[in-house]
Chain A
């Protein structure tokens, strides 16, 4: 009993005193609130650390006349774990700001609910944040636009549903022209962003004259998709539009491959982003087309920097960039560096202005923030704006197939579709 109390006190003391002892005044501290036990968390962490290491190796950030290094403080927000309240993630964010003395926030919180709730906190502490992963909802930048003075510290350098949808539509229209497809089935997960994505897609495709089967909405954790799939097969769907961020979506793809359905799956599938997906699906994921939200999350030739980034990542972490959130987290550090150097200070308001005026060529194209919404400006041309990364699994590798300007290969149809 007494021992236990001692241990608890010791642990408590450790947590309380250690961080205080380590903090030095010199470096610029980047706080990264991320759900580190999940994809979108650990890959973002690796991206941020890689960029910070590169910058520090080159001498650091020039603030006025002094060079200061970056220091990355990662905290586990646990916000992707089921059963953990968002207040836990917000507490983590406060820990970064109050205890780790973070000057800037890069990364999450990863879950939309938490990120939206965090905006009020960021305003309270006046900390500049670049959101780089997890949050796809347009509500984020709309909130900034509606109340600029309150939320001006929030930036987002990844794409969102409002941009991804038209891009998907362009891709599907291209495929209709090339192969004569005209029927689509939609299957989405039962979460708000996925449902909204499915509905928007249905409307958009109908508007273009496609035949769209009634969307199927699956609860998180569904392990059987046979009813929906046979239904799609019977009604002659050629496109299977998916929007899911649960690991069970691998089951859907396996069932699709086993049934040899005459349709090609396209969409936002979290489970199919990682390099290890091919092995996990037992090769059944071949031909799947996945949106990685931003370019550079898989090997591609978007800008000269893209492959440089991919190689550096491989060298440091032993595998290719893993998925959504990797390249954007990496770039956010560079954008921040650029802004701090231009502002000549780490003062939040000055950095906000500098970020608004920032304009650099990055891993996935030209990086500029919209001045009103603080959302990265998208484009299909890397010279004009940030480019998406839509890839297809071909021969067990992720190959960039869209947008056409930076595509490495053409779409391949499954042999049983011919």
Chain B
């Protein structure tokens, strides 16, 4: 029973973490390696608003943290990435360098040690099917599902959302129809960063804000996206469930210290067997020489 409950929670956590990364990649084809850094930065900002700057109410602090993160994301595209758009390697190196600069800058600026913590939204726990689960995890599951639904509706019903999908499917055709490619890319980075921020404020109350968290988040986001197929949304959800349950099962049946090995092996096996990932159909022909 714990397997099921915590498997689901773990999977939704993973997909929350990687959703922002995949959204940015699917729309603007930018592998945003600063994702992990934005995640940590948003958590730290929220903490600052909550504790250092005149103690805003929690909700306001969260809102501010997420909004500023999304502005930072947009700024990264607007001022830096726009100049190297399309050069994949430069994009990877530039975003990674920015991420590293943010993370190590935070560490230098005082984010060190284990004393940075966001409070849980509601303390306490409840028993579900005989398994004790704290409220924060329930909120994560709820918020995760809600985010999927909102994103789904957003990309299907609103004009901006449809523009997103247009760009993702065929950039040239979309541009011919008058969709501004750069503008959508800026928006996608803003939304992707906001998602990273959202994941941070939801997940960080479970633990504490540390710089190393940024690297872990990045590794997991990349892992999930590669297995699911880079840029595929359905793939992200399926892949997070695969990795999520695989991890919980390894912990349960073998030993927790093989968790990371399982995730990494999963990536390598996926690349060998089906390099485009589980759901990456359309690009498959291009992958093999």
> What is the interface of chain A, defined by CB distance below 8 A to chain B?
37-39, 82-83, 190, 195, 216-219, 221-224, 226-228, 230-231, 246-248, 250-251, 254-255, 258-259, 270-271, 274, 276-277, 279-282
B window 160-213: CB within 8 A of A: 203, 206-208, 210, 212-213
**B203: which A residues are within 8 A, CB to CB?**
223
Q: What's the minimum C-beta distance from A415 to chain B, rounded to whole angstroms? A: 16
Contact between A247 and B134 (Cβ–Cβ < 8 Å)? Answer: no
Contact between B123 and A258 (Cβ–Cβ < 8 Å)? Answer: yes
Contact between B114 and A271 (Cβ–Cβ < 8 Å)? Answer: yes
Contact between B257 and A227 (Cβ–Cβ < 8 Å)? Answer: no
Across the two chains, which residue of chain A brings its CB closest to B117? A280
Q: What's the minimum C-beta distance from B155 to chain A, rounded to whole angstroms? A: 29
Q: What's the minimum C-beta distance from B55 to chain A, rounded to whole angstroms? A: 14
User: Within 8 Å of chain A (Cβ to Cβ): is B97?
Assistant: no
A231 to B6, CA, bound (A): 13
Point out the residue from A219, A226, A228, A251 that lies within 8 Å of B257, measured CB to CB.
A219
Contact between A227 and B2 (Cβ–Cβ < 8 Å)? Answer: yes
User: Within 8 Å of chain A (Cβ to Cβ): is B252?
Assistant: yes
**A228: which B residues are within 8 A, CB to CB?**
251, 256
Given the interface pairs A82-B212, A82-B215, A230-B132, the reply to whether A276 lies near B10 with Cβ below 8 Å is no
Binary per-residue interface labels of chain B (9-27) against chain A in the complex, 1 for a CB within 8 Å, 0 otherwise: 1100100000000000000
Q: What's the minimum C-beta distance from A326 to chain B, rounded to whole angstroms? A: 14
Size band of the B side of the interface? 35 or more
Contact between B208 and A258 (Cβ–Cβ < 8 Å)? Answer: no
Given the interface pairs A227-B6, A279-B115, A280-B208, the reply to whether A218 lies near B257 with Cβ below 8 Å is yes
**B251: which A residues are within 8 A, CB to CB?**
216, 227-228
Contact between B116 and A280 (Cβ–Cβ < 8 Å)? Answer: yes
Among A83, A230, A271, chain B packs the most CB atoms within 10 A around the CB of: A230
Across the two chains, which residue of chain A brings its CB closest to B263? A219
Q: What's the minimum C-beta distance from A389 to chain B, rounded to whole angstroms? A: 19
Contact between A221 and B216 (Cβ–Cβ < 8 Å)? Answer: yes
Q: What's the minimum C-beta distance from B109 to chain A, rounded to whole angstroms? A: 11
User: Within 8 Å of chain A (Cβ to Cβ): is B112?
Assistant: yes
**B2: which A residues are within 8 A, CB to CB?**
226-227, 230-231
Q: What's the minimum C-beta distance from B72 to chain A, rounded to whole angstroms? A: 23
The 7 closest A-B pairs by CB, nearest first: A190-B257, A276-B115, A247-B114, A271-B114, A217-B257, A251-B207, A280-B115
Across the two chains, which residue of chain A brings its CB closest to B248? A227
Contact between B134 and A258 (Cβ–Cβ < 8 Å)? Answer: yes
Point out the residue from B207, B252, B257 that lies within 8 Å of A223, measured CB to CB.
B207
Contact between B114 and A280 (Cβ–Cβ < 8 Å)? Answer: yes
A93 to B124, CA, bound (A): 48
**B134: which A residues are within 8 A, CB to CB?**
255, 258-259
A259 to B9, CA, bound (A): 17
Contact between B259 and A222 (Cβ–Cβ < 8 Å)? Answer: yes
**A274: which B residues are within 8 A, CB to CB?**
113-115
Contact between A251 and B206 (Cβ–Cβ < 8 Å)? Answer: yes
Point out the residue from B114, B131, B257 that lies within 8 Å of A250, measured CB to CB.
B114
- Beyond contacts A218-B257, A274-B113: 13 other A-B pairs, Cβ-Cβ < 8 A, are A216-B255, A219-B256, A226-B133, A227-B252, A230-B131, A246-B212, A248-B210, A250-B117, A250-B207, A250-B208, A251-B207, A258-B123, A282-B119
Q: Could you jot down 15 A-B contacts, CB within 8 Å?
A: A37-B108, A217-B256, A221-B212, A223-B13, A224-B9, A224-B206, A230-B2, A230-B132, A231-B2, A247-B114, A251-B207, A258-B123, A259-B132, A280-B117, A282-B120
**B112: which A residues are within 8 A, CB to CB?**
37-39
**B252: which A residues are within 8 A, CB to CB?**
227
**A281: which B residues are within 8 A, CB to CB?**
117
Point out the residue from B3, B206, B260 that lies within 8 Å of A219, measured CB to CB.
B260
Contact between B117 and A37 (Cβ–Cβ < 8 Å)? Answer: no
A83 to B208, CA, bound (A): 21
**B90: which A residues are within 8 A, CB to CB?**
none
Q: What's the minimum C-beta distance from A252 to chain B, rounded to whole angstroms? A: 9
Contact between B10 and A224 (Cβ–Cβ < 8 Å)? Answer: yes
Contact between A282 and B207 (Cβ–Cβ < 8 Å)? Answer: no
Among A195, A222, A259, A276, chain B packs the most CB atoms within 10 A around the CB of: A222
Q: What's the minimum C-beta distance from B111 to chain A, rounded to whole angstroms? A: 10
Contact between B115 and A258 (Cβ–Cβ < 8 Å)? Answer: no
Among A82, A226, A259, A276, chain B packs the most CB atoms within 10 A around the CB of: A226
A158 to B21, CA, bound (A): 45
Given the interface pairs A223-B203, A227-B2, A274-B115, the reply to whether A247 lies near B210 with Cβ below 8 Å is yes
Among B107, B112, B117, B216, chain A packs the most CB atoms within 10 A around the CB of: B117
A282 to B122, CA, bound (A): 12
